[in-house]
Structure 1
Amino acid sequence: MNLIVQTLTITAPVFVMLFVGAAIRRLGWIDAAFISTASSLVFRGTMPVLLFLSLLKADLSQLKLELVLYFALATLGAFFLAWAWAIYRCPREDRGVYVQGTFRGNNGIIGLALSSTLYGDYGMSLGGVLAAVAILLYNSLSAMILAFYSTEVKASPRSILLSIAQNPLIIGVLAGVPFAYWQIGLPDWLLVSAESFAHMTLPLALICIGGSLSLNALRAERDLALSATWMKVACLPLITTLGAVLYGFRGADLGVLFLNFASPTAAASFVMAQAIRANYELAAAIIVLTTLAAALTMNIGILVLQAIGWA
């Protein structure tokens, strides 16, 4: 029951900000131009700083090489499974948005918070390390798949690599790696300023997502969004968690892995889709539906694992 309450406590503010975005768009307080500008600010400014700070605070002393390696390989496996399913399921122009919405999770917020709630300091430390690994993998793979299916950029190996190298989120992650590895601190005044700037990321991104949503768009994208949701919160977490069980992970390690695999789609997927003029309405619909569904599936999953005695 505590986990159910905690999950709802974390996911409810997400929906509130989505509704705020939808409401103020309907009232005319924001328009398409604001959404485009704000999304660009998040993509180029606030989110790279947030990712940099996330890595800066990661406790790499808690690094478990075997567990992190499994998480990375499972993430790659989920990415390629999602891609294969997208080739069968999606029109070509929507495949990049569908794939990133299906395989990338909200590890840094929902996954980390629930790991901490369930497993205390150990869950926070391990979840923080996995979130740092996820940041690098998710953004690199998402930049690649979006560039590959982009109608704006010719999909050649050079253009895809250039798109990844120039992606502000990737730059923010790579800039944070040496600070995390060598435990380099920042002056307090700079850290406070950076945190204030980064704190705009989630509310601004969610307002943009809410402002982009409409009933017509949800109806138009319903089938693809439901398919991506089923993959994100049910199929892929089941496959990757069973793989972890077969590998031998148990207890808190298995629980933290599951919570990271089962997290709903991150708001960054909308920001990246918007930045390259992809189908951001599909991205928004996937975020909304996976967040709603994960409030149920994450609780069922962890309760089953605990009942069996594995977590």
Structure 2
Amino acid sequence: MLDPILLLPDFVLIMTGFVLCRYTQLQRPVWDVVERLVYWLLFPTLLFSSIVRSPLQPGDAAPLMAGGLVVCVTGIALATALRAAPGVDARLHASGAQVAFRFNSYIALALAERLAGTQGVAWVALLIALCVPLCNVGAVWSLARHGGHSLWRELVSNPLIVGTVAGLLVKLSGVGLPWWFQESTHRIGQAALPLGLLAVGAGLRLTGLTAAPALASALLAIRHLVLPALALPLGIWLGLSLPEHTLLVAFAALPTASSGYVLAVRMGGNGPFVAGLITVSTLLGMASVPLWVAALGYWR
């Protein structure tokens, strides 16, 4: 069973970011720059480095990757279906649908080592490599369809997709990269997690949810109730080991991606609504991850 105290350092970083942004000279303009740095450079480099340095081949974790794929596809399908519900505003849905199926990769990687050691980091890197492009396709498709943007242009220029695809191509090709290049990208990527978690905290704000409280509740329920509940029997059905199953459940219960706000604003969505969803999802994640992993302990 997961001790919630293991998650404390990561959530302390999130709350530290909140305090720094609200009560010190490091106010919003500073964190706007930090968010762009993490989104465009540090995090894509972390994804690339994690995949390239991983001792695992994608086939070694095929059942776990299949589980992650099922979780994400289910989230996309359910979030998309909400658009047909009576009274749902199309712009708000296009902006917020991503919250139901995207996940916070900063927190995922930070938790992986605590849950399953070095092997856990490699497993999560592969999950990210598979699921980040899929989830970004879902998010960009929803916003592009509503806002008139070019889907393919947005996908090709998305730094998270570029980083993961580049890492997979290098990994699958078997090309050996110079040690100095690997070490440099590794060090750049290491900065992504602490800065990313601080930026998550700096971005916490509840304004905007009053625009569509029912839609917000439905999206958050998919993210924090439906998907982790699905992961419990799914891991048994896929024959996952306990460490793999634990990571799948934690993955399904993660808070949503903080970069969703940046994407929504850049593509003409409703920024305050997405910011409120991300804030509530992050706060719920502090409880949902340990609770669902504890539920797995009773399940198995």
After TM superposition, the score normalised by the length of structure 1 is 0.79
In structure 1, what is the equivalent of residue 250 of structure 2?
259
Distance (Å, rounded) in 1 between the aligned partners of 2:262 and 2:127: 22
Matches within 5 A, 1:158-169: 159-169=150-160
State the AA in 2 paired with 1:293.
L
Distance (Å, rounded) in 1 between the aligned partners of 2:206 and 2:244: 41
State percent identity of aligned pairs: 24
Q: Find 1:66's aligned residue among 63, 67, 73.
A: 63
Map Cα deviations across residues 87-141 of structure 1 (whole Å, 9 max, x no partner).
Answer: 42741112233221110112x4333443433334443333332232222322233
Are 2:48 and 2:164, in contact at CA under 8 Å, matched by a contact in 1?
A: yes
In structure 1, what is the equivalent of residue 42 of structure 2?
46
Distance (Å, rounded) in 2 between the aligned partners of 1:172 and 1:205: 16
In structure 2, what is the equivalent of residue 102 of structure 1?
100
Classify the secondary structure of the residue corresponding to 2:154: helix
From the superposition, tell whether residues 133 and 16 of structure 1 become closer, same or farther in structure 2 (CA, over 3 Å).
same
From the superposition, tell whether residues 278 and 40 of structure 1 become closer, same or farther in structure 2 (CA, over 3 Å).
farther
Distance (Å, rounded) in 2 between the aligned partners of 1:70 and 1:211: 32
* Structure 1 vs Structure 2 CA RMSD: 3.2
Matched, 1:296 2:287: yes
Distance (Å, rounded) in 2 between the aligned partners of 1:22 and 1:206: 16
State the AA in 1 paired with 2:226.
C
Map Cα deviations across residues 134-175 of structure 1 (whole Å, 9 max, x no partner).
Answer: 22322233222222222xxx26xxx22232123232222222
Are 1:264 and 1:290, in contact at CA under 8 Å, matched by a contact in 2?
A: yes
Q: Find 1:79's aligned residue among 58, 71, 76.
A: 76
Matched, 1:7 2:7: yes
Q: Find 1:145's aligned residue among 142, 146, 156.
A: 142
Classify the secondary structure of the residue corresponding to 2:47: helix
Gaps of 5+ in 2: none
Matched, 1:277 2:268: yes
State the AA in 2 paired with 1:17.
G
Farther off after superposition, 222-231 or 272-281 = 222-231
State the AA in 1 paired with 2:4.
I
Are 1:3 and 1:118, in contact at CA under 8 Å, matched by a contact in 2?
A: no
After TM superposition, the score normalised by the length of structure 2 is 0.82
Map Cα deviations across residues 215-274 of structure 1 (whole Å, 9 max, x no partner).
Answer: 544655665444432221112221243333345445223222111111111222223223
Classify the secondary structure of the residue corresponding to 2:257: coil
Are 1:229 and 1:286, in contact at CA under 8 Å, matched by a contact in 2?
A: yes
Deviation, 1:17, is 1.2
From the superposition, tell whether residues 250 and 186 of structure 1 become closer, same or farther in structure 2 (CA, over 3 Å).
closer
State the AA in 2 paired with 1:258.
V
State the AA in 2 paired with 1:236.
L
Are 2:18 and 2:198, in contact at CA under 8 Å, matched by a contact in 1?
A: yes
Distance (Å, rounded) in 1 between the aligned partners of 2:266 and 2:196: 12
From the superposition, tell whether residues 105 and 224 of structure 1 become closer, same or farther in structure 2 (CA, over 3 Å).
same
Q: Find 1:125's aligned residue among 122, 127, 150.
A: 122
Matched, 1:111 2:108: yes
Gaps of 5+ in 1: none
Deviation, 1:197, is 4.3
Q: Find 1:91's aligned residue among 68, 89, 92.
A: 89
From the superposition, tell whether residues 58 and 139 of structure 1 become closer, same or farther in structure 2 (CA, over 3 Å).
farther
State the AA in 2 paired with 1:148.
R
State the AA in 2 paired with 1:304.
A
State the AA in 1 paired with 2:108.
G
Distance (Å, rounded) in 1 between the aligned partners of 2:116 and 2:182: 28
Are 1:221 and 1:281, in contact at CA under 8 Å, matched by a contact in 2?
A: no
Distance (Å, rounded) in 2 between the aligned partners of 1:204 and 1:119: 23
Distance (Å, rounded) in 2 between the aligned partners of 1:205 and 1:172: 16
